Amino acid sequence: TAEIVAPRCDITDPRQLSAAAADHAVGEATLVIHAAGAAALAGRAGTSGSTLLDNAAAKLAGLEHLTAAWPIRDDA
């Protein structure tokens, strides 16, 4: 039997992510799916460095925080 849990939090905020892990992690996870992200659609000329950074924050910083906060089984 598998249980699917989808906690809501700002994955770029380590405190929110740690709270979600504390509330929802029952032992070590065998699978964590990191599906966070949002994108502002714009043409190349309308995309600035800050826009690109904002769009990538959930994926890049979020992954870093997720791997630090969520207990994962060694054999997962």
Q: Which residue has the tokens 């950074």?
A: 53
Per the domain annotation, does 26 fall within a domain? yes
Per the domain annotation, does 74 fall within a domain? no
7 or 27: whose pLDDT is higher? Answer: 7
Q: Which residue has the tokens 């994955």?
A: 11
Residue of 1, 63, 55 whose CA lies nearest to 32:
63
Number of domains in the chain: 1
- C-alpha 7: how far from its chain's center? 10
Of 5-14, 16-25, 28-37, the poorest mean pLDDT is in: 28-37
Query: Distances from the Cα of 76 to the Cαs of 31, 33, 68, in angstroms?
Result: 7, 13, 15
Instruction: Kindly report whether the global pTM for this prediction surpasses the value 0.85.
Output: no
Residue ranges making up the domain that contains 28: 14-69
Per the domain annotation, does 33 fall within a domain? yes
Per the domain annotation, does 38 fall within a domain? yes
Per the domain annotation, does 2 fall within a domain? no
Q: How far apart are CA 49 and CA 35, in angstroms?
A: 23
